[in-house]
Amino acid sequence: MNKLITTLLLMCAGICASAQLNTSRIMSIGRNALYFEDYVLSMQYFNQVINVKPYLAEPYYYRAIAKYSLDDMTGAEADCSIALNINPFMINAYNLRGIARLRQKRYADALADFGAGLKYEPDNLNLLLNSGIANINLRHYDDAIADYRHALRFDSRNSTAIVNIGIALISKGDTVQAIRQFDKAIGFNSYAIDAYAYRGIALAQTRQYDKALADFDRLVELRPNDAAFRFNRSIIRYQSNDLRGAFADIDRAIEIEPTAAAFANRGIMRAQVGDYDGAAADFSRVLAIDPQDDIALFNRALIYQQTGQMRKALSDLNIIIAKHPDFAQAYYQRAQVRQALDDAKGAELDMMTAYSFEKDRIDRGLANARKPDDPDADADSKPRRRSTRRKGDNDIRKYDQMVVLADFGTADREVHEDKETIRGKVQNNDIIIDLEPIFALNFFNADTLLPKAAYFEPSVEQFNNRRVFAMPLCITNREPEADNAATISLFEQIAGIDRLMEQKPADTQYNFIRGVLYGQAMNYNNAIADYDKCISANRYDINALFNRAAVRFKMVEVVRALESESRPNSMGGAVISRNAMGTTAPADLTTDKTVSTIRDYDLILQDLRSVTEVEPEFEFAYYNMAIVQCYRKQFAEAEASLTQAININRDFAEAYFNRGLVRIFEGRKAEGTADLSKAGELGIFKAYNVIKRYAAATDNDDDDDDDDR
């Protein structure tokens, strides 16, 4: 007996050692994938470790790095929090969570994380640098300088710390000391990009244009294809009356990166040299990029007025006055336009309104006032500086001022010791964002980019156990397209089933098999006929009910696709875009085609509800219901159906993805982002593209001062 117990214990020890070895190996493979920038793949390995050993902090931390690299800040923060709950002494997790919070512009929370890490490691360089970044964004400039000076005690030549001290000093108004810091950084490193950039801006602000130009010449030499450096050098050349050079730089900046700010600046310069057609075109391009840019709209109105296009000028000015009813200059311009259009009464009213507003501003000391420290007011030998405005300054009274990029994003740049976060970012891919498609039962399953666990359903397993067909049945939403050879093979298989049915005409299993094959061959009418026979023989045949609903849905999609080709402006599929998820009006509900479509949707939902009545745990039926509900603009019902599917299967990646889209469409970005993060974690990598484009970025739309670089 003792010998038996000893043997069992040794066997258990061997099994445990094997499990330990396997999870360690999987962790190693995951970290290698992370190193080679296969972020989505690396998460699949970390998921495996987490499923086996959820009490380990390390896989959550590394999965957080992968999510951070894919711009999923919500997911990265959540994983770091789990890691820290397991191991509160994990310094790198404090640092990464703080960085994720910085990216979400939650600076106070980020600062708390860096502070927590510094309690355990007071001399941690990355934590000190990032703490300084958080303090700058919180306008705690003295605290930021203290953080950076502390960091310099351990790395006296750290250019990040030196440059950021300069940024803090500029923010405090001490430009002279800031320039000295940038000089120091450049002295240590002649390739310090940020130091040249900020020193160039500081020198330009103090009207030392020759020195500023030298710095930006150096920047363009180091990074000839950086649009921001070309952009700002054009400003400096413009200030130095080098219009030819200014135009050359802004033209090149637009070639590299056609931004609204670049078009706006070129429009102002073109107007000043009399190229009114070019100026109007540039301001129109600005409005195409940002229809809410009132400064560009007002400038275009001035150009239209200058070129005698009074009706167009009046249209633009009407919009400006409606949005800025106290903007006196707009009334002056509209008065002139109305006078030209023989509207004397309207012109007189506008002129009186303009005088009234301007008099009020003069009485309040606002009109034409100069600040005492305005360098333009000084009568010294320095060159006269043309006024500029920072990107994000949308004061319409500054309509004639060029935009300058005074912030290159250094103060908001993260410092992270892991090199895996630099490349391989699938969130930057250009994709069409659409709902994940419906599921169906099929003998064919298209390959996916990533290995993904097959979903399990008891009814599918029961069918396969009967071994009535050579190929196993699976549940999938990735059916391969049938080419010529595949189509020929399909019809050969259908012919084989026909022969079997002649021998056993009452066996509806063959009807189901043939229905699946017909569906794959896109012969939907025959497929439905076969499913009808299955259901007539057994109204509880959930496989036939489920697939009949799927085939009917595909038939509706075909009809919708044909209609959209004949009506280009009609609504497409249920996607998050201007023409989808119900953002445009549906077709006239009185048409025969639309009535037919509604009837088809009702039949689809009827079949799917029948499935759930027989098998309440069939999550794919709820999932497919949700897609139909999205097409019918029933988004609350769709969300409820997807939630039901997720409650049944907590690893249902496609359901998380679709629910995330629905929630974002409904304006609940935080919940939607959390769902998309989970979908990405489970293998749907395009979720990170949606997070980047529609969720995380839109939460900070009101932060106008940030540079997009």
Closest CA to 604 of 646, 641, 563: 641
End-to-end CA distance of the chain: 72
pLDDT of residue 688: 82
Q: What is the pLDDT of residues 365-415, one digit of tens each?
A: 655 444 433 444 443 444 455 777 777 788 888 888 888 876 554 444 444
Query: Residue 546: is its pLDDT beyond 90?
Result: yes
Beta strands in 578-640 (DSSP E): none
Q: What is the pLDDT of residues 612-637, one digit of tens each?
A: 999 999 999 999 999 999 988 899 99
Q: Measured at the alpha carbon of residue 406, what is the angle toward residues 402 and 411, in degrees to the nearest 5?
A: 160
Spatial contact of 171 and 136, defined as CB atoms under 8 Å apart: yes
pLDDT band for 696, please (50, 70, 90 cuts).
very low
Query: Residue 45: is its pLDDT beyond 50?
Result: yes
Q: What is the pLDDT of residues 429-461, one digit of tens each?
A: 444 567 888 999 988 876 554 555 567 788 888
Query: Residue 112: is its pLDDT beyond 50?
Result: yes
Least confident among 55-59, 404-408, 530-534, 627-631 = 404-408
Residue 92 exposed, middle or buried by CB count within 10 Å (0-12, 13-18, 19+): buried
Distance separating alpha carbons of residues 475 and 480, to the nearest angstrom: 13
Least confident among 481-495, 554-568, 606-620 = 554-568
Average model confidence (pLDDT) across the chain: 81
Measured over the CA atoms of residue 526, residue 528, residue 534 and residue 536, the dihedral's sign is negative
The most confident of 248-252, 688-692, 693-697, by mean pLDDT: 248-252
Q: What are phi and psi of 388, to 5 degrees?
A: -130, 165
Average pLDDT for 22-35: 82
pLDDT of residue 15: 40
pLDDT of residue 34: 81
* Plot region of 279 (φ>0 → left; ψ -120 to 50 → alpha; else → beta): alpha
Residue with tokens 């959550």: 60
State which fold the 440-649 domain adopts. Answer: 1.25.40
Structure token digits, residue 35: 């190193």
pLDDT band for 187, please (50, 70, 90 cuts).
very high
Q: Which of the pair, 363 or 113, is modelled with greater confidence?
A: 113
Sequence-separated (6 or more) residues with CB below 8 Å from residue 192: 159, 163, 185, 186
